[in-house]
């Protein structure tokens, strides 16, 4: 009867919802023990290092147990929920639920079982080694000849040696003691089995440094972690770094210290582009679509890449090759409550302006809802980050790992500008392009950035350059 019950319970394990990810955090359970579930029903939401993902159960049944509470980070392959596929009630849950825990306990028991064996070996080795040494040394020290020989080496302190013939030291150490004028009988040995070492002799020759700055006062700095445990809880908050934010931090550090970054800037009059944005908003081809400056800047970058294709590449460290991309997966950096993510528009170079507007709108909406899938963040080739929405003039963006360049857009605002020989208020912004100098040299980077600026200054180039 027990076998049948166990066979009826299926354990759903944490899947690898990303590319080779090893763990995920359970954000929310949508079911509880006793609930009926069907094949394909979403039972929980988890967050990986790349995105938040909903997990569907692959079979029908009744939930027996949730193995982990919300907020727990679980390794891929670990059972997270038990389901009775026969449709039984949750009352009998305790028996099958305990099953997945048994294998986890066995390794710990074996490890703890081996530990005494290892410790036993250590004690036996030390004990075995110690006894023969004492037995071997004792006859030499009890012999009058040995005492007399030792007496002749120690600066005339014969009587002390005769009365206390115990110091054990190797010939080089004895010579050092003689040279330094140190009586071995007065030295405290620290070597194994009571042997006096060179360090012991030096310590005896210069006793001041030893007692005063001994390890005792130096242990005070080691106690520095104490404030960590007693930080001001009323005025400080500690937030564990995990999930998307942890992955982003690691990726940015890796990118910053792997790819040699170069950043160039250009300030440009985008008044005509802003006028075109307003005109497109009234165009029926863009009905229901979001039209903004980012749309035209993205299109300008795509045209610039077409004119300077070598800027769209990646560096293959393993093979020491530059990989030119004949497609553009355009990444758009998006700030979310869980951290910075960079989903990308696949094959953005093939899209018309209305198609690009639709793709941008969907990408932004999905990111804000926290529903960006890992697949949407893979395979990017070049990125745009819009720091201007925060009122920032410009910045020096860090490359998205594996990409060759990233374009930062500054705030667009009225500024005095020389236009047709007169100073007039114009819509002006500053663009910053960071690129990997292993892939993109100064000339190529400059041409690419200059083309983007030229298109934004004269948007009609979107037609003449394509």
Name which of 335, 338, 434 is nearest 383 in CA terms. 434
Q: CA 6 to CA 100: how far, in whole Å?
A: 11
Q: Do the Cβ atoms of 100 and 68 come closer than 8 Å?
A: no
* Structure tokens belonging to residue 228: 């960590």
List the catalytic residue out of 157, 202, 261, 437. 437
DSSP letters, 225-250, are THHHHT--TTT-------HHHHHHHH
326 as an active site residue: the answer is no
Q: Say how far apart CA 55 and CA 58 lie, in whole Å.
A: 9
Pairwise CA distance, residues 313 & 382, whole Å: 8
Residue 418: strand pairing partners: 423
Residue 357, classed as helix, strand or coil, is helix
Token reading at 221:
């700095």
For the chain, the farthest-separated pair of C-alpha atoms sits apart, in whole angstroms, at: 115
- Residue 40: phi, psi to the nearest 5? 95, -5
Q: Which two tokens stand for residue 35?
A: 């609930």
| CB 99 within 8 Å of CB 6 | yes
Give the residue among 309, 326, 341, 336 at the shortest CA–CA distance from 405: 309
Question: Which of 405, 398, 410 minimizes the C-alpha distance to 445?
Answer: 405
User: Smallest Cα–Cα separation from 448: which of 386, 398, 399, 405?
Assistant: 405
The three-class DSSP label of residue 120 is helix
Element housing 356 (H / E): helix 353-368
Residues designated catalytic:
437
């Amino acid at each position: 009867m027990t076998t049948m019950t166990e066979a009826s319970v299926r354990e759903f394990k944490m899947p690898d919802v990303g590319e080779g990810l090893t763990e995920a955090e359970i954000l929310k359970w949508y079911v509880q023990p006793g609930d009926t579930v069907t094949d394909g029903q979403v039972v929980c939401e988890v967050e990986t290092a790349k995105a938040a993902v909903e997990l569907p159960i692959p079979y029908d049944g009744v939930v027996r147990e949730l193995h982990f509470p919300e907020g727990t980070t679980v390794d891929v392959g670990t059972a997270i929920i038990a389901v009775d596929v026969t449709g039984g009630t949750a009352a009998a849950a305790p028996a099958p639920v305990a099953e997945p825990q048994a294998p986890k306990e066995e390794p710990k028991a074996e490890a703890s079982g081996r530990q005494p064996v290892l410790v036993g070996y250590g004690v036996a080795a030390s004990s075995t080694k110690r006894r023969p040494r004492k037995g071997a040394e004792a006859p030499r020290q009890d012999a009058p000849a040995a005492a007399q020989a030792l007496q002749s080496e120690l600066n005339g302190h014969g009587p002390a040696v005769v009365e206390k013939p115990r110091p054990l030291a190797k010939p080089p150490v004895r010579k050092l003691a003689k040279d330094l004028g140190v009586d071995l009988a007065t030295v405290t040995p620290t070597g194994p089995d009571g042997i006096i070492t060179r360090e012991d002799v030096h310590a005896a020759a210069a006793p001041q440094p030893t007692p005063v700055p001994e390890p005792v006062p130096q242990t005070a700095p080691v106690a520095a972690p104490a404030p960590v445990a007693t930080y001001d809880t009323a005025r400080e908050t500690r937030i564990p770094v995990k999930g998307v934010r942890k992955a982003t931090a690691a990726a940015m550090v890796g990118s910053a210290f792997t790819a040699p970054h170069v950043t160039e800037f250009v300030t440009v009059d985008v008044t005509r582009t802003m006028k075109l944005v307003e005109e497109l908003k009234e165009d029926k081809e863009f009905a229901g679509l979001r039209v903004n400056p980012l749309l035209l800047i993205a299109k300008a970058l795509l045209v610039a890449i077409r004119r300077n294709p070598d800027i769209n590449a990646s560096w293959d460290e393993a093979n020491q090759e530059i990989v030119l991309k004949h497609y553009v997966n355009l990444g758009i950096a998006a700030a979310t409550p869980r951290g910075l993510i960079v989903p990308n528009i696949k094959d953005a170079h093939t899209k018309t302006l209305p198609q690009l507007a639709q793709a941008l709108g969907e990408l932004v909406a999905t990111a804000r809802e926290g529903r960006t899938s890992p697949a949407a963040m893979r395979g990017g080739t070049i990125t745009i980050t819009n720091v201007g929405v925060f009122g920032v003039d410009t910045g020096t963006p860090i490359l998205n790992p594996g990409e060759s360049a990233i374009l930062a857009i500054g705030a667009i605002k009225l500024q005095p500008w020389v236009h047709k020989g007169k100073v007039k208020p114009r819509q002006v912004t500053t663009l910053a392009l960071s690129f990997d100098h292993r892939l993109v040299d100064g000339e190529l980077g400059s041409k690419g950035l200059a083309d983007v600026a030229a298109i934004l200054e004269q948007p009609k180039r979107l037609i003449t350059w394509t």
